[in-house]
């Protein structure tokens, strides 16, 4: 904490405050000042410097720059005939002389747009001066939505969101995909790969130009259109920001400014400390004043210029420790978190970053991708914490993959599942997810594809009886995602397409696959075809989210697991005032199954995975009233049923999850018909929202759906638990 306070005071003394310090983009790079364009670049190791581009025929002899005592080069280029000397959307580069007398050309570090000639294989990127006239600037029309009490996040990659094997655009995503997200009752969209990265297959994690939007999907105004459209739909937008490392590309990335100088004059550490062997990338020197200015300004730029509502910080574990979390299995021992292995400079940067973000935008949502479980990571900076609002619960998907790949259904441990889902630090919030993009990349499969594999090519038609593998797969797909959402954290995340069981895997175009985009797209036609079973998983996903929208159970601090029965394969828990019953047994139906609860009264079905509209068998009656019975002595848990003061009995079919809500007696006459057991209501609402979304989006504007196979499949073959105080045992990406 002292290092943070000292660093913050230094910034306040010399820069006028943290927020002023983070306005570096108004000083560095290209900025309009009276009568011309001023360009500044921090490059203390350069011996001479020029600005070159289309505007001067790539000859910088008449545009030499001057260097100040801090290593900042600058030049003012006067307007010509009342017009900027550098035309909007024209190419520019920073040319400088190294210590050996060799001149090199680099993309300006603070460039706001960079492009490449798509017709020229392996061509280097060019910086682009972006200053559109007023008529071409996008003006935001809609305010930011209120911060949700609990984020239900749709993780999306714009480029791979097209149904066609190509890169999708920001505007197409806004018009065609955002309505789908809203229809499924998500309240937040998290955008991957928005910041420019020259290598598409890096998933956006090898950033080359930190202030530039990825030009593959459009220009800066197009991205603003997307964000404004999301806000109009009530969706908050988070950016997947990468400040843990940078691309090692020399010609088009920050690494090009590293010419062997000391760490004090570089964006990166020198030697082994400046290089991440596993990621083949460069590591920032967070102790450097100008690096702090660069990264903090980067955050403010995306918040203010593009109206992002927060960030998901990638690779936080790598930042926190000098060992980067490699070959570490965190057990919860505090010596694993606070020792000489801790990168204090990086921790201080993250504290500054979170303080800045929440000062600029108090309602921002900031998430850490951390696998270690460092204490205090999710507590406010004012308390001595690092300041994140949430941490990703990264061990959960590893648990599901292990059970699915290595254990038979009857070998699944209810205790282990419950422990994995509740294993998080008290008062530090987590985002739970069953699978993200990590679990779908080449070499692995989605949960749906693990469950159903080749049967997804032939057994997904509703026109025939579901094969046993498909019946099991859809049932477990619903259960796995729902129990993860309901028990795993204070927020929920789903990766694009997994809500309807998108099959196969993700493989970006690369030399190894003949530069094919076939596995780098989303086959929306699968969920849109009425006769395919994908619609059932999609409908249940929307119903899960709507249940939280109605009852706010994710935001509730009341979470009690009352039973994890290994023999019966049943987990019973309460979240908020809802009671959840998960029966993982592959065969056993339990009639009159007693479940404990807190509040006495009458309970009804609020959501049922076995409902016909979700591809189930309709075995649970939704018009049944479940009345509680008192258990034991009030206030004496050991005399209660599973330590709960009340109980009621239910029907629990195999491979189902059913949620029960308490109904006040006064609602009997007024609300019973409206509630429709809530299950039909949830499904109907989802269908209505989908229809509204389709109307908003219009008919499909891009791409043609893949051909339907002859079989009609539509697919192209190509004990009470408390929250534990311990870290996740999983691997960072």
Residue tagged active-site, from 175, 228, 258, 314? 314
Instruction: Look at strands 195-196 and 209-213 and give their pairing.
Output: antiparallel
**Kind and range of the H or E element at 217?**
none
* The Cα angle at residue 307 between residues 306 and 308, in degrees rounded to 5: 95
Whole-angstrom distance, CA of residue 140 vs CA of residue 134 = 13
> Among 222, 250, 285, 289, which Cα is nearest to 70's?
289
The DSSP secondary structure of 673-712, one letter per residue, reads HHHTTTHHHHHHHHHHHHHHHHHHH-S--S--PPPPPTTS
Whole-angstrom distance, CA of residue 479 vs CA of residue 615 = 13
Beta bridge partners of 115: 126
Residue tagged active-site, from 343, 369, 438, 685? 369
Whole-angstrom distance, CA of residue 334 vs CA of residue 58 = 56
**Is 41 one of the catalytic residues?**
no
Whole-angstrom distance, CA of residue 212 vs CA of residue 696 = 29
Helices (H), 114-246: 170-172, 178-183, 220-232
Whole-angstrom distance, CA of residue 88 vs CA of residue 112 = 12
Burial (0-12, 13-18, 19+ Cβ within 10 Å), 128: buried
3-state percent helix, strand, coil for the chain, nearest multiple of 5: 35, 20, 45
> Among 192, 72, 212, 272, which Cα is nearest to 495's?
192
**Is 314 one of the catalytic residues?**
yes
Whole-angstrom distance, CA of residue 725 vs CA of residue 721 = 12
Angle between helices 414-422 and 395-406 (to 10 degrees): 160
Q: Which backbone phi and psi does 318 adopt, to 5 degrees?
A: -60, -30
CB-side neighbour CA atoms (13 Å) of 110 = 27
Instruction: Look at strands 103-106 and 90-97 and give their pairing.
Output: antiparallel
Burial 537-569 (b: 16+ CB within 10 A, else e): bbbbbbbbbbbbbbbebbbbeebbbbbbbeebb
Sign of the C-alpha dihedral, residues 113, 114, 117, 118? Answer: negative
> Among 668, 598, 669, 666, which Cα is nearest to 628's?
598
Helices (H), 128-219: 170-172, 178-183
Cα Rg of the chain (Å, integer): 27
CB-side neighbour CA atoms (13 Å) of 45 = 18
Whole-angstrom distance, CA of residue 283 vs CA of residue 272 = 9
Please give the DSSP secondary-structure letter assigned to residue 109: T
- Three-state SS for 309? coil
| Residue 591 tokens, joined | 């009639």
**Kind and range of the H or E element at 112?**
none
| Residue 159 tokens, joined | 């480029």
Instruction: Look at strands 491-495 and 559-565 and give their pairing.
Output: unpaired
Q: Which residues are catalytic?
A: 314, 369
């Amino acid at each position: 904490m002292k290092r943070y306070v000292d660093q913050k005071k230094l910034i306040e003394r010399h820069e006028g405050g943290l927020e002023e310090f983070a306005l570096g983009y108004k000083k560095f790079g290209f900025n309009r000042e009276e009568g011309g364009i001023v360009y500044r670049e921090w490059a203390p190791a350069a011996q001479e410097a020029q600005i070159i581009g289309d505007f001067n025929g790539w000859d910088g002899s008449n545009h030499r720059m001057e260097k100040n005592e801090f290593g900042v080069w600058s030049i003012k280029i006067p307007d010509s005939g009342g017009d900027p000397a550098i035309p909007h959307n024209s190419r520019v580069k920073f040319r400088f002389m190294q210590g050996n007398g060799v001149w090199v050309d680099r993309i300006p570090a603070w460039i706001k747009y960079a492009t490449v000639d798509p017709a020229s294989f392996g061509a280097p990127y060019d910086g682009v001066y972006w200053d559109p006239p007023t008529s071409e600037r996008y003006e935001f029309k809609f305010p930011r939505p209120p911060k949700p009490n609990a984020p239900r996040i749709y993780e999306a990659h714009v480029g791979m969101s097209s149904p066609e094997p190509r890169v999708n655009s920001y505007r197409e995503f806004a018009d065609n995909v955002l309505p789908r997200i809203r229809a499924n009752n998500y309240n937040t969209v998290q955008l991957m790969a928005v910041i420019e990265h020259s290598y598409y297959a890096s998933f956006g994690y090898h950033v080359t130009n930190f202030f530039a939007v990825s030009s593959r999907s459009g220009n800066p105004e197009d991205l603003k259109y997307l964000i404004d459209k999301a806000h109009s739909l009530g969706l908050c937008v988070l950016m997947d920001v990468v400040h843990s490392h940078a691309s090692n590309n020399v010609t088009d990335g920050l690494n090009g400014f590293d010419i062997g100088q000391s760490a004090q004059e570089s964006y990166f550490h020198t030697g082994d400390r400046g290089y991440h062997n596993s990621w083949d990338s460069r590591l920032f020197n967070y102790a450097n004043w100008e690096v702090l200015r660069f990264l903090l300004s980067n955050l403010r730029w995306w918040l203010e210029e593009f109206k992002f509502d927060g960030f998901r910080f990638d690779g936080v574990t790598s930042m926190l420790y000098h060992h980067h979390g490699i070959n570490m299995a965190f057990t919860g021992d505090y010596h694993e978190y606070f020792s000489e292995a801790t990168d204090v400079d990086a921790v201080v940067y993250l504290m500054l970053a979170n303080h800045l973000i929440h000062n600029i935008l108090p309602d921002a949502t900031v998430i850490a991708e951390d696998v270690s479980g460092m204490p205090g990571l999710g507590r406010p900076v004012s308390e001595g914490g690092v300041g994140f609002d949430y941490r990703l619960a990264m061990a959960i998907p590893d648990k599901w993959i292990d059970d699915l790949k290595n254990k038979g259904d009857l070998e699944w441990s209810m205790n282990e599942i419950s422990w994995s889902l509740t294993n998080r630090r008290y008062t530090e919030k987590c985002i739970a997810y069953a699978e993200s993009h990590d679990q779908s990349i080449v070499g692995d499969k989605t949960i749906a594809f693990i469950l159903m594999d080749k049967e997804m090519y032939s057994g997904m038609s509703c026109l025939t009886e579901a094969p046993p593998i498909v019946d099991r797969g859809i049932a477990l797909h619903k259960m796995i995602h729902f129990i993860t959402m309901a028990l795993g954290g204070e927020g929920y995340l789903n990766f694009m397409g997994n809500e309807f069981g998108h099959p196969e895997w993700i493989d970006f175009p690369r030399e190894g696959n003949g530069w094919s985009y076939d596995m780098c797209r989303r086959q929306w036609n699968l969920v849109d075809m009425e006769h395919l079973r994908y619609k059932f998983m999609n409908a249940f996903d929307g119903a899960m989210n709507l249940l939280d929208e109605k009852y706010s159970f994710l935001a509730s601090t009341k979470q009690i697991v009352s039973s994890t029965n290994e023999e019966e394969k049943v987990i019973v828990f309460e979240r908020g005032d809802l009671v959840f019953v998960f029966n993982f047994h592959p065969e056993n139906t339990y009639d009159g199954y007693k479940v404990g609860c807190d509040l006495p009264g009458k309970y009804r079905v609020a959501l049922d995975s076995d409902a016909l509209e979700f591809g189930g068998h309709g075995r649970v009656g939704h018009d049944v009233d479940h009345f509680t019975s008192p258990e034991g002595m009030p206030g004496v848990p050991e005399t209660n049923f599973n330590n709960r003061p009340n109980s009621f009995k239910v029907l629990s079919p195999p491979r189902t999850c059913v949620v029960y809500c308490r109904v006040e007696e006064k609602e009997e006459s007024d609300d019973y018909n409206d509630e429709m057991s809530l299950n039909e209501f949830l499904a109907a609402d989802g269908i209505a929202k989908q229809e509204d979304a389709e109307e908003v989006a219009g008919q499909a504007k891009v791409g043609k759906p893949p051909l339907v196979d002859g079989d009609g499949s539509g697919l192209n073959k190509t004990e009470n638990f408390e929250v534990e105080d311990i870290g996740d045992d999983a691997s960072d990406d």
